[in-house]
Amino acid sequence: MTNIIQLQTFVDVARLNSFTEAAEQLSIPRSTVTARVQALEERLGVQLLHRTTRRVSLTLEGERFLQQCEPALEALLQAESDLLEKDELSGNIRLSVPTDYPVETLEALLNSFGKLHPKVSFYVDMSDSPVDLVADHFDLAIRARHPGEETLIAQRYTYDPVGLFSRKPHKLITGDNIASFALRDPGGFLAEFSVGTTSTHTIETTNFRLTKQLALSTDCVAVLPISLCEHEVEQGRLHHLKTTLQISEVPLYIVTPARKHRPKRTRAFIQHIIECAKAHR
């Protein structure tokens, strides 16, 4: 019978394509990782991994073995986790969110879940830098517009309505009364509002908050999520403009590592996100 620890170690090395990174993830010496994989190969009588000085890759036998054993290992870990957390959810959830994600929404999600499950703690990384969910040990991420790599599992759970915003009030905006105005991805386009002229000044950015700040400081029309501008509209600092233009909503995704074991606390938090989104539609 194959040793479960050896099997898990092989899966980690195969996922990360590195003995060193697997050792760091498991908090054990690299020599221990190597010994476990070698023992597994000796037991099976096949070479599972190609080793070079620069990289590690799966052999054909290794690819086939990974495809067959990884789902079984995940199911075993899932069953164990469910038993350990059957009475009360506990442990840490590592969450990655972009800097554009509304802080008020995030705070409400964390606090409402915390009241239901007080023994669950969170580590939240708010960054626009690429995050490797597997290598950096994240349980899930929330992403807008583009969920990320194909190797990740992305579940669209809601849409964020968007609109046109400006610091100056304007009448109904149509394609006829705004010069050379082209709608692109929300947060990615600003256009100077100029009636009856052909001159426009554009600034492109992938950051919603920078887009909002530019809308607050310049005479432009910005495409932004409505939820991100609620306070400024209430304060009269921004105006939500009426328009006949069709503006696409921003899809929001819950992203998790492919085939990654999800503890019950993580699955419960994902369901909590979905339920909260439905309640606010």
DSSP string covering 174-205: -TTSSTT----STTS-EEE--TT-----EE--
Grouping H, G, I as helix, E, B as strand and the rest as coil, residue 152 is strand
Domain pair 4-84 / 91-158+251-279, same fold:
no
CA-to-CA distance for 12 and 99, rounded, in angstroms?
A: 30
Where would I find the beta strands (DSSP E) of 220-275?
Answer: 220-225, 239-241, 250-257
CA-to-CA distance for 180 and 192, rounded, in angstroms?
A: 9
Bigger pLDDT: 92 vs 82? 92
- State residue 239's pLDDT score: 94
How is the chain split into domains, by residue range? 4-84, 91-158+251-279, 162-248
- State residue 235's pLDDT score: 96
Of the candidates 249, 252, 242, 259, the one whose C-alpha atom is nearest the C-alpha of residue 273 is 252
CATH topology of domain 91-158+251-279: D-Maltodextrin-Binding Protein; domain 2 (3.40.190)
Bigger pLDDT: 18 vs 281? 18
Please say whether the dihedral angle defined by the alpha carbons of residues 202, 206, 211 and 214, taken in this order, is positive or negative: negative
CATH architecture of 4-84: Orthogonal Bundle (1.10)
Is the per-residue pLDDT at 17 higher than 90? no
Q: How confident is the model at residue 101 (pLDDT cuts 50, 70, 90)?
A: confident
Is the per-residue pLDDT at 29 higher than 50? yes
In the chain, the percentage of residues whose pLDDT exceeds 90 is 30
Of the candidates 180, 183, 193, the one whose C-alpha atom is nearest the C-alpha of residue 244 is 183
Mean pLDDT of the chain: 82
Q: How confident is the model at residue 222 (pLDDT cuts 50, 70, 90)?
A: confident
Dig out the tokens for 67 from the structure. 């495809």
Bigger pLDDT: 267 vs 200? 267
Q: How confident is the model at residue 243 (pLDDT cuts 50, 70, 90)?
A: confident
Is the per-residue pLDDT at 177 higher than 70? no
Grouping H, G, I as helix, E, B as strand and the rest as coil, residue 262 is coil
Q: How confident is the model at residue 196 (pLDDT cuts 50, 70, 90)?
A: very low
Q: What does the pLDDT average to over 65-82?
A: 78
Is the per-residue pLDDT at 99 higher than 90? no
CA-to-CA distance for 110 and 228, rounded, in angstroms?
A: 18
Number of H helices, E strands in the chain: 8, 12
pTM: 0.65
Q: Among 139-148, 236-245, 255-264, which is the least confidently predicted range?
A: 255-264
